[in-house]
Amino acid sequence: MSNVGEIEAVLFKRVAGGYIFQQPNPWLLGRSSRYIVDEAQKAAILAIILPRRPVLRIAVVTAAILLWTVVVATAVWAFGSGHDSPTAGDFVAIFGLIVVPIVGALIFALQRNLRRMRPILAGASRTDEKITRGELRHAMANALTIKRALLIGAAWSLTCAMQVFGLVIRNARHPLFSDAQSYLNVFTAAVAFGLAVYYLGIAIRKLRRKPAAA
């Protein structure tokens, strides 16, 4: 989520007198604090959240995650169970060694940003009004451009196709649901398929509305 409009859709909701700012929970999960902020406070918060070079930031973070994934998978394969195919225990170890550091880094970055926001929110009033999940989905869909929705949908479609292809080429030696990796492939393919349908559906709806708006 690097688009300014998408970030605004998740964190802000226009109301009488300004915007509801839905501050993330410092531990990612749990109750979030909500404030009424004005345009100046909103701009200051966005300046903290948005990276100065978003494309470079995404490239660096993606490369770091991929490199760490390769390092962890190689280490588990070398020092793990010793089987030719990863066992369930190997997958649990890989998952833990990949996800835990990533979540820890996210929490660290989030708490750093929240500390920087404290002076901005010192004079803002709290509110009990929420940004509902339905409002979030609607705002996110509106913030996405057709091109971006198509690109994200295509990326998830490719991910789904790769998982299915992996299942097909492994089927001779490892039939479906015969080992932990096939379960992981099926799960990933199902999630990727659902996300591909969601984003491509957004693009199709926007394309259908475009002639009417013109």
Q: Where are the domains of the chain?
A: 1-130, 144-214
- Counting residues of the chain whose pLDDT is more than 70, the rounded percentage is 86
Region 190-208: what's the mean pLDDT?
A: 92
CA distance to 134, 141, 196, per residue, from 138 (Å): 6, 5, 17
Predicted local distance difference test score (pLDDT) of residue 35: 93
Predicted local distance difference test score (pLDDT) of residue 81: 58
Predicted local distance difference test score (pLDDT) of residue 211: 62
- The answer to whether 172 and 201 have CB atoms below 8 angstroms apart is no
Predicted local distance difference test score (pLDDT) of residue 82: 59
* 84/11: higher pLDDT: 11
Question: Which residue bears the tokens 């299915």?
Answer: 164
- Tokens, residue 4: 């300014």
Region 78-107: what's the mean pLDDT?
A: 74
Predicted local distance difference test score (pLDDT) of residue 141: 82
- Tokens, residue 209: 């509305």
Q: What is the 8-class DSSP label of residue 127? A: -
Is residue 212 over pLDDT 60? no
Confidence class of residue 106 from pLDDT cuts 50, 70 and 90? confident
Compute the mean pLDDT over every residue in the chain, rounded to the nearest whole number.
Answer: 82
Is residue 10 over pLDDT 60? yes
- Tokens, residue 156: 């998830």
- The answer to whether 12 and 135 have CB atoms below 8 angstroms apart is no
